[in-house]
Structure 1
Amino acid sequence: MPIIYALVSKGSYVLVEMMAKTGNMSAIARKILLKVAHKEGKMSYTYDNYAFHYVVSGYLCFMCLTDYNFSQTVAFSFLLRAQRRFIDRYGQTLENINSYQYQDFGLLLKEMMADYSILSPERLERAKDDLRGTKVPVAQNIDRLLQRHEKSELLVDQVEKTPFVDDSLRSAQRHNPTMKKAPWYKNMLIWLIVIMVLLVIGIVCILVGCGGFTFKNCR
């Protein structure tokens, strides 16, 4: 899923966010927000195998996290389309902010993330049309934005629930010790099976070499 995470904020206050995989991308996105949310403009910051893209207009910031090799043009097309739909629905000046009122937009954001993640020639052409007359910024390393003590390693799990991981699954993983230990139990089961197979092979070899259960050849 090339578009892994997306959010909408007013200043540094997150109104709605959606993620396609579990991980700490939300925490890193908030660190970026503190630096950029009050400055008009757009930018891309690369971070290892990923890239953060954002557009700030007025009080609103639209941000997404993609794979490093994902089309920057499509990423900004996604952000601009999300911006238009959000402003059409709620307006640019938001009062009495309550994050819960934007959950419906979260569902739309989720659909858009899945849609824009499927790259095609038609998608690329529409993205170019969206950005016609708009200069796409040159991506910079995130070190230019965040200090060393502000950075944390970006962790993105590879386990997905098509097309998005439930909040309920993430909660269960946090609170259910059995789920956390599942990989350990799986490895232990594999080793037990391997040991049993080796024992069976060893016993068969001994029986064949000794002439069966009577062990007549080994006396």
Structure 2
Amino acid sequence: MPIIYSLISRSSTVLCEHSETTHIDNISMRTSASQILASLPSHDTEVIYSNSNDEYLFHVVVSNGIKFMCLTDCETSQSQAFGFLFEIRRKFNSMANVLTRTETANPYELNKEFADVLAIEMRRYSKRMPKGIQEMLDDQVKREKRVIQYVNETTKKAEHVALLGEHLAVNYDGTFKKSRRQPKPSPHYKNKKLILVVVIIVILILVIVLAILASVDVI
């Protein structure tokens, strides 16, 4: 139940790799791996790809934009394949001198520092494991997958909230601009103003009439 080939990449740039097969097989595997890397999302996920004859399986874990991949035969369990990927991810992230170069490293530049780690872990995880250790590995893989699922769901929610915030900001901006305009007087307000003018006129007329009457009485 072997792990045949493994690599670590940044986007489609392979940073390091190790193979347990011949040179000709390596060319074929690299071609298939390159096609898969180009189609992978950048967000955290874990996926499985099979070849056309279902003889081999590519297992992939994407974590913080870094892609960890291995090729196995169909008899290799998922827990072994993903257990291997989670372990090399842990070791890769723990090596500061390697991790700090992931954004700028050229293709295969990290082979010197990490190819031997891939080789050792590939052989270790290719062995049939005792039942107790296998069960522990199964539980670990399940936990890791739940974490990845939780991160994906949280990321989607955060993106939704961000989009909602942008939507509300646009609406608020439009409302704010409208609120700066002078409000149009309502018909009810116009009627009140007209009545007030009429009352003032009537009062003035009464004052004038009373003044005239008073002057007549004096005479």
User: Which residue, out of 107, 111, 128, partners 2:138?
Assistant: 128
Q: In terms of mean alpha carbon deviation, does 12-21 or 88-97 score higher?
A: 88-97
Q: Distance in 2 between matches of 1:39 and 1:80?
A: 16
Residue deviations 1:59-110 (CA, integer Å, cap 9, x gap): 2000000011210111001000000100111337733313334422101100
AA in 2 matched with 1:67: D
3-state SS of the aligned residue for 2:32? helix
User: Equivalent residue for 1:148?
Assistant: none
Q: For this pair of structures, how many residues does the alignment match?
A: 137
- Are positions 1:40 and 2:44 aligned together? yes
Q: Distance in 2 between matches of 1:116 and 1:123?
A: 11
Q: Distance in 2 between matches of 1:134 and 1:122?
A: 19
Change (3 A) 1:111 1:135: same
Gap regions ≥5 residues in structure 2: 149-219
Q: In terms of mean alpha carbon deviation, does 116-125 or 42-51 score higher?
A: 116-125
Superposition pairs for residues 99-178 of structure 1, below 5 Å? Answer: 99-120=108-129, 121-135=131-145
3-state SS of the aligned residue for 2:17? strand
The TM-score, its normalising length taken from structure 1, stands at 0.57
Is the 2:56–2:72 Cα contact (8 Å) retained in structure 1?
yes
Q: Distance in 1 between matches of 2:122 and 2:89?
A: 13
User: Which has the greater radius of gyration?
Assistant: 2
Change (3 A) 1:75 1:132: same
Q: Distance in 1 between matches of 2:103 and 2:143?
A: 32
Q: Distance in 1 between matches of 2:145 and 2:63?
A: 15
User: Equivalent residue for 1:74?
Assistant: 80
AA in 2 matched with 1:133: R
For the aligned residues, what is the CA RMSD? 2.2
AA in 1 matched with 2:115: G
User: Equivalent residue for 1:85?
Assistant: 91
3-state SS of the aligned residue for 1:131? helix
Alpha-carbon distance, 1:27 to partner = 1.0
Runs of 4+ with deviation above 4 angstroms: none
Q: Distance in 2 between matches of 1:102 and 1:21?
A: 17
Larger helix percent: 2
3-state SS of the aligned residue for 1:100? coil
- Are positions 1:62 and 2:71 aligned together? no
Residue deviations 1:99-128 (CA, integer Å, cap 9, x gap): 334422101100110110001224412312
User: Which residue, out of 97, 111, 135, partners 2:105?
Assistant: 97
Q: Distance in 2 between matches of 1:123 and 1:116?
A: 11
Q: Distance in 2 between matches of 1:101 and 1:69?
A: 30
Q: Distance in 2 between matches of 1:51 and 1:81?
A: 19
